[in-house]
Every structure is written in C-alpha cells, then in structure tokens.
Structure 1
Amino acid sequence: MNPRKNKPVIGISIGDINGVGPEVTLKALLDSRLQKLITPVIYAHGKIITFYRKQLELEEFNFMQIKNIDEVHHKKINVINVTDESPEVIPGVETQEAGKMAATALDAAINDLKEGKIDGLVTAPLNKNNINSPERKFVGHTEYLSDAFGAKESLMFLVAEDIRVGLVTGHLPLKQIAANITAENIKKKLDIMLQSLQLDFGIGKPRVAVLGLNPHAGEDGLLGDEEEKVIKPVIRDYKDKGHLVFGPYSADGFFGMMHQKKFDGVLAMYHDQGLIPFKSLAFETGVNFTAGLPIVRTSPDHGTAYNIAGKKIADEGSMRAAILQAYDIIKNRGDWESEED
C-alpha cells in the first residue's frame, strides 16, 4: 500500500447489530480526539445507526451516508449501506438476519481493505452462531482474515498498555492443544510476535516471555514433558540467535507476580491460558490485534454482550482503544503520512 495523506481511513464493521457493537462504536466515535486523528467509515446501514442514535439518546452523534468508499468525507463520520434494506434491530436477541448483516458488513470492509481504499479495519463483535451457515464456516475473525489475505500464519495478539499476550494455539478444542504444541508452531508464533513488536509497536529489541504448557511449567518433567522436550529447546535456539526470549514460566505464578510488566510480549500456549489473565487485567482497555497480516486489523476484546445491549451501559473503552491502536500501528508501519510530511 502506498503512503496515504490526509487522515488514515479506518473502517469499522458493525458486527452483530443486536449486540453492543453499535453502541460502543457510536460512543467511541463521539470522542473528539478520534475524529481529529482518523476518518471513520462504518460498514452497516444508516437505519441501524439512526436506531441506536435515538435509542441511546446520542443526539450529538452526526454522520453522513455514502454509497461507497470513493465518496468518503474526511471531516465526517461516514456510513456505507452494505445492504439495500436494513434488517430489524432487536437489541439483545440473536437473529439470523443480524448474522447475515454482520457477514455482509465484514466482507464489504475486507473488499475495500484489499483494494487499499481504507488503511485499517476495526471489527465490532459478532456472534459465531448466527454468522455461520452451510456456505460459510466462521471460526473467528483471526482465521477469517488470515484466509482472506492469504496469510499462512497469523497471531492472535491481545494488547493493552502494560500487557501484550500472543497465543500459540487459538480457537482449538482443549483435547487437541498438546498435540499442537510443537517446536515448529512455537517458532512460527514467536517469529510473528518478535516482528510485530518491532514493526507495529516500534520496540527495537523486544523482551518476550514464553509460558509453559503444564502446571508449574511441567515441574522438571514431573507434570508433563512438553517443556523439557519442546519449549526449552526453542527458547535456547532463540537465545543463541541473540533474541531476548525467556522461559518457560508457570502461568499462574507469572501473572500472579505481575511479571508481564517486565516484558514486551508474552507467548501463551493456548487460548484461556492467555486470555483469562489478559481480560482480568485489561478488560476495559484491551484490544485484539491480528499480527502477521499485510493489513491492520484490531477489535475490542469483548463479545456481543446481548444481556446489556441497548441499555446505554456498555463501556466503549475497548472499542476506543481498538481504534487508537489501529491508528498507532498504521503510523508505525509507515503506511500513512501526515499532510505536513
């Protein structure tokens, strides 16, 4: 992608229209700081945005409907109608129509991203139950975007101010995890993490902690041998190459002692091992970033939260952080230049 001038254009796919995605999107974009930094484009339908503007009593939220990304206005909040007719909005209710809307919005944003017409994508939360269909298998945004952009490997990277956690295995059943903790898989994810910390976060010589798979990191083989046979040799190999990679650490003690603050990144072996402590420590400001892709994609680290949808109480902090993180990564990658450059 050639460097762009003006403000970076960041697309926001609306996600499940009956969840909290629309609410946190509107609230986040009311932040005057964001409007000065980026040009937002919401992939949804004007009627959905109008519904939530009224439902949430956000009279100060103003937007402009455009037919396509070529009509983008850099001083407005833009909304692209991705369907001719808007499905019914029923806050807190899972519907097939909402799933189709989420899929259509995501695909429209991906198409504009592929054509270089937007600089980054922030995905609002969706529901995997109603987005899946016989024609579409949707495991998660990370896997879907990796496939869309032909990336053989990517990294689910959860980031906040003083904690960054990546996963060796992502959306995988627990009984399959041990078989997938191989030297090859760990190296693939470590390579992406180290490169991302340098390229996307501007850290010249990143320090990375690697967690063990088993309780107490295997207790010298007493509680499992993956640490001795697989993880430790990988760490030694990276140290020999001059990388600041340490471990394996026992996950409970590591986070219990807040050791994540001593490192630029933490590589966890599986989903819950990394995401439970991350969300406990940074739920309101955490961001899910897909590292290893040729494009920039972030999202809030929460789900649709049907139980509070439309009740004016959803916290927009994670969505705001996701938009700001996308902006920072775009700048760090050098895909954008200011008008003063």
Structure 2
Amino acid sequence: MQETAKIKLGISIGDLNGIGCEVALKTFEDARMLDFCTPVFFASNKTIAFQKKELGIDVNYHGIQEASKALDGKINVVNIWKEVPVINFGEDSQEVGKYAIKSLRAAVEALKNDEIDVLVTAPINKNNIQADDFKFPGHTDFLAQELEGESLMFMVTEGLKVGLLTDHVAVKDAPSAINPILIRNKVRTIEKSLRMDFRIRAPKIALLGINPHSGDNGVIGKEDDEVLKPVIREMSDAGHLVFGPYSADSFFGSDAYKKFDAVLAAYHDQGLIPFKTLSFGKGVNFTAGLSKVRTSPDHGTAYEIAGKGVADHSSFKEAVFMALQIFKNRQEYQELTENPLQKQRVRR
C-alpha cells in the first residue's frame, strides 16, 4: 500500500528578535513531530543556524530553494534571503520587521500555490512591520486580502471558541463599526467554520453585548437594543442557533460559555482577555473563513524573555496540531458533502 504523503506545514518565522523562532524550533526538537507533518520554515539557513546556536536548540534541518522541494522526515528551510540579519533579542527593530514580512509573504505565496498545505505564523510586532507596501494591523487583515473568503479572528481551544465582530480596531471605534451586515457575515462565517473545521453539525452561538450589561435596556448605550437584538431575532427566526446579547462581565465567570459551541465577542479585549485567562498556553489563534488554513500561537513576541531560551512552546505546538486537524476535517467535510449518505459521521 502506498504511503500517504504527509501534510506540508509552512511556518513564517515572525519577529526574529522575539520568541517566534525559538518556540517553532522547540516544537520540532521532538523528532516525533515529523511523523505528523513535514515542516517548512521560510527564513534562511544562516538565520536558523544562529537561532538554534544562541538558544541551545538541538535540531537538524535541510536547506531548500523552494517549498515544493521539501522532504518528508526533515525540517526544511526555504532560503528567502541570502544576507544575515542583525538579531538583537528583545529589541523592537524596523529592520528585523522587514524580514518578518519577507517570510510571511513567501509563506502565503507558497500556500496559494499549494506548495504547502497549511500555515502556522510565528508572532510579529505590529509596529515594526509597517511599510509603504505593508499597511496592515496584523496577520488577519493581510491574509483576508490574499486568500479567498470572509476572515474571522477565531481563538480556539478544546472547551472554548471565541470569535470577534471587530478585531484590531480601537475601542472607541468598535461600536460604530458594528452593523447588521457585519453581524450577519460574522455569524455565518463562524457557523460554517464550526461545521467544516470542527465537525459540529448544528452550531450554537452566543453573542456578547456591546455595552456593560448589554446596555441595561438603553440606560448604558442603545447599540445592543438597536443593532444587536434585531439581527439576533432575525437570524434566530431564520433557523440560526444564535442567542444573546449576553452581559460580558458574568458570561465567562458563570461558565455560561460551556452551553455554546462558540462565542462572538463585540471587540478584541472583550473576547481575548477571558479566553487567554482560561486557556493561556493551550489556545490557538485561527483565521476562520478563508480558503486556506492558518493558525498561530495565542501569544506575542515576548521581548522580555527573548533570547533566554525559556519560552514555552506549548501554544505553538497546539497551533501545529490544530492546523493539521482542521486540514483533515476540511478534507472529510468535502468528501461528506460530495457523498451525503455519509453525513451521519459528523457529530451533532
């Protein structure tokens, strides 16, 4: 019997002055990880050599010129640049930011061309990546432009999944950015992802209120009554299992989130603070709704510990496994939709 080819997992290297390269290399320091996928780093041989030496990480790697030449059973490094970047761990550097973008662009291009199957992105610094040809507040917005679909920032772990109506938007601008069209699109995107990526047949979704206590019937803001509630009623009447809006301050502490398959938060910190409190180190940032699979760890560059060799790679490892599982789930979902008689295999 012919052996099935392993999933090619691309890795954009992130901020070289942060912990991204460290957690990525530590993940594959365990040779058993090569049984699950073929890792493809987008950087350079010399950059990876410097990082592994400085951090004391014991891995061997294979240098290649293009992702399509990646070998199973090896850690592959696509040489994106020839020069040697100046790396000063813990430093916010515009020059290093350029290499983060070079790595990301090359990885996304390989993903679009099916040279890799999935992408895991190491953390970037949103400040030093800004350039004339790259004006995005983060990975999600760039990927939404490059890959087909309606993007959704989806923080996921085994027992908790939190999507965002607005992600990298200033708090003062979030309420005005939320409108019926946005809500409908995000709900449909999260529903499709739960079915296709997580094998949930009839997803049940909770929406958090925009204002404290969901506005207290208009006493603390009218957005919940005038924007959220009408759309929730409309979608519920149309057969969507959408509920709320719920008061965000008590929703997580009371374990109410356990009654739902996913939670849709109004803005960034409303969703990410409880998510990271409940699952830090095990959570994964997944960009749902796109034609390709991209995940990342639930932490940033962590300059304060960069270069010390003490970074915990648990979240990056979870991001790897999540990307692989979602890729497999999508393949199965496609098979099931093409053969409806097998749909009973998808759990309720």
TM-score where L is the length of structure 2: 0.92
Residue of structure 1 equivalent to 2:339: none
After superposition, the C-alpha distances for 1:250-276 in whole angstroms (9 at most, x for unaligned) are: 001001112222211000001111111
Residue of structure 1 equivalent to 2:28: 29
After superposition, the C-alpha distances for 1:141-181 in whole angstroms (9 at most, x for unaligned) are: 00001011254x31100111111100111111122111112
Q: Which amino acid aligns with 2:321?
A: L
Q: CA deviation at 1:134?
A: 2.4
- Is residue 168–residue 181 contact of structure 1 (8 Å, CA) maintained in 2? yes
- Please give the residue correspondences for 1:126-205 in structure 2 after superposition, counting only pairs within 5 Å: 126-151=124-149, 153-205=150-202
Q: CA deviation at 1:241?
A: 2.2
- Structure 1 residue aligned with 2:77, among 64, 76, 79? 79
Q: CA deviation at 1:191?
A: 0.5
Residue of structure 1 equivalent to 2:44: 45
CA separation in 1, counterparts of 2:151 and 2:57? 38
Residue of structure 2 equivalent to 1:95: 93
- Is residue 196–residue 333 contact of structure 2 (8 Å, CA) maintained in 1? no
Task: After superposing the two structures, state which structure 1 stretch, 92-101 or 208-217, moved more.
Answer: 92-101
- Please give the residue correspondences for 1:48-63 in structure 2 after superposition, counting only pairs within 5 Å: 48-59=47-58, 61-63=59-61
- Structure 1 residue aligned with 2:67, among 66, 69, 74? 69
Residue of structure 1 equivalent to 2:122: 124
Q: Which amino acid aligns with 2:211?
A: N
SS at match of 1:230: helix
CA separation in 2, counterparts of 1:281 and 1:251? 15
Give structure 1 regions of 4+ aligned residues with deviation exceeding 3 angstroms: none
CA separation in 2, counterparts of 1:332 and 1:135? 35
Q: Which amino acid aligns with 1:78?
A: N
- Is residue 42–residue 78 contact of structure 1 (8 Å, CA) maintained in 2? yes
CA separation in 1, counterparts of 2:188 and 2:240? 10
CA separation in 2, counterparts of 1:220 and 1:267? 20
Q: CA deviation at 1:206?
A: 0.9
Q: CA deviation at 1:30?
A: 2.1
Q: CA deviation at 1:89?
A: 1.9
Residue of structure 1 equivalent to 2:281: 284
What fraction of aligned residue pairs are identical, expressed as a percent? 50
Residue of structure 2 equivalent to 1:20: 19
- The one of the two structures with greater contact order (alpha-carbon pairs below 8 A, sep at least 6) is 1
- Is residue 148–residue 291 contact of structure 2 (8 Å, CA) maintained in 1? no
Question: Does residue 330 of structure 2 align to residue 330 of structure 1?
Answer: no
Residue of structure 1 equivalent to 2:230: 233
- Is residue 61–residue 76 contact of structure 2 (8 Å, CA) maintained in 1? yes
CA separation in 1, counterparts of 2:184 and 2:325? 26
Q: CA deviation at 1:33?
A: 4.4
- Alpha-carbon RMSD across the aligned residues, in angstroms, is 1.7
- Is residue 167–residue 268 contact of structure 2 (8 Å, CA) maintained in 1? yes
CA separation in 2, counterparts of 1:47 and 1:99? 17
SS at match of 1:130: coil
TM-score where L is the length of structure 1: 0.94
After superposition, the C-alpha distances for 1:9-41 in whole angstroms (9 at most, x for unaligned) are: 010000011100011001112234432111100
CA separation in 2, counterparts of 1:67 and 1:139? 30
Task: Give the 3 Å change call, closer, same or farther, for CA 198–33 of structure 1 in structure 2.
Answer: farther
Q: CA deviation at 1:332?
A: 0.5
Q: CA deviation at 1:52?
A: 2.0
- Is residue 18–residue 301 contact of structure 2 (8 Å, CA) maintained in 1? yes
- Is residue 45–residue 79 contact of structure 2 (8 Å, CA) maintained in 1? yes
Q: Which amino acid aligns with 1:51?
A: F
Task: After superposing the two structures, state which structure 1 stretch, 328-337 or 225-234, moved more.
Answer: 328-337
CA separation in 2, counterparts of 1:268 and 1:119? 30
SS at match of 1:11: strand
CA separation in 2, counterparts of 1:280 and 1:33? 30
- Is residue 165–residue 266 contact of structure 2 (8 Å, CA) maintained in 1? yes
CA separation in 2, counterparts of 1:134 and 1:117? 28
Task: After superposing the two structures, state which structure 1 stretch, 223-232 or 103-112, moved more.
Answer: 223-232
